[in-house]
Amino acid sequence: MATRKSPERLAAFTDAIVAIAITLLILPLVDAASDEINEGSTFGAFFNEHFGQIGTFLISFAVIARLWVGHHRIFEHLRSYSPRILMFTILWSLTIVIMPLPTAMTANFALEPGVIGFYIATMAASSLMLTLLVLVIRGSASEDPDDRLPLHVLVNSGGTTLLFVLAGILGVVFPTVNYYALFILVLSWPLNVIVVRRVHDRPADSNSRAPRHGA
């Protein structure tokens, strides 16, 4: 049986990592603004010159924020954590720590398949870690028996991961599409609504199964 360990400290650890990573995203723009001021540039000229960099900052900010929300919701259903939950959480944290690097590369490197692939693959890897977390937690001894993870959370997380992978393939194979391939993620919302409705229409809840031990 998994050792009973409170997930609050682990959640606080990941929250701190997300806060630092999401703050690091803006630092290249702050440095660029300082350089522009020293060169006597104007407000309008700065935004015109760094439009692409601002765009990638906003995309990365939105993605990290969404991934954090997903992680936060998953942890709401935990009463303890096991070694496997700890492992996938640390791996997920690694993807968040890496995120500012491809974000900076997209702003300073030419549009090439390697940079596009690295940028979107980091996001896909982060989403995959969340999906694996849900798989490990659902039905395990670490799951809160009074507040179990719904099936649609797993479906939504897995679907989002697949959309990230598809976006990466589109962005790499079709350079003209590049980072705009990420807009395919808007499909995750209507797909999740459809899944939630179908799950709620089912006569029996799959979460009623007995928890397995030793997750």
Give phi and psi for 140, each to the nearest 5.
-95, 175
* Residuewise pLDDT in 10s, the chain (215 residues): 444 677 888 999 999 999 999 999 999 888 888 877 777 777 888 888 888 888 889 999 999 999 999 999 999 989 888 999 999 999 999 999 999 999 988 877 878 889 999 999 999 999 999 999 999 998 888 888 888 888 888 888 998 999 999 999 999 998 888 888 988 888 887 777 776 677 666 655 444 444 555 44
Q: Which letter does DSSP use for residue 76 in this model?
A: T
Tokens found for residue 169: 């393939």
Q: What is the dihedral of CA 67, 73, 75, 77, to 10 degrees?
A: -150
Number of C-beta neighbours around residue 64 at 10 A: 22
Number of Cα atoms under 13 Å in the Cβ half of residue 46: 16
Q: Output the pLDDT for position 161.
A: 94
**Is 93:116 a contact under the CB 8 Å cutoff?**
no
Number of Cα atoms under 13 Å in the Cβ half of residue 117: 7
Q: Output the pLDDT for position 106.
A: 85
Number of C-beta neighbours around residue 15 at 10 A: 14
Q: Output the pLDDT for position 4.
A: 60
Q: Output the pLDDT for position 31.
A: 85
**Is 188:163 a contact under the CB 8 Å cutoff?**
yes
Q: Which letter does DSSP use for residue 3 in this model?
A: -
Which residue in 108, 126, 206 sits closest to 168, CA to CA?
Answer: 126
Average pLDDT, the chain: 85
Burial status of residue 169 (CB atoms within 10 A of its CB: 0-12, 13-18, 19 or more): middle
Supply the pTM of this predicted model.
0.82
What's the pLDDT tens digit per position in 39-52? 777 788 888 888 88
Q: What is the dihedral of CA 74, 128, 5, 83, to 10 degrees?
A: 160
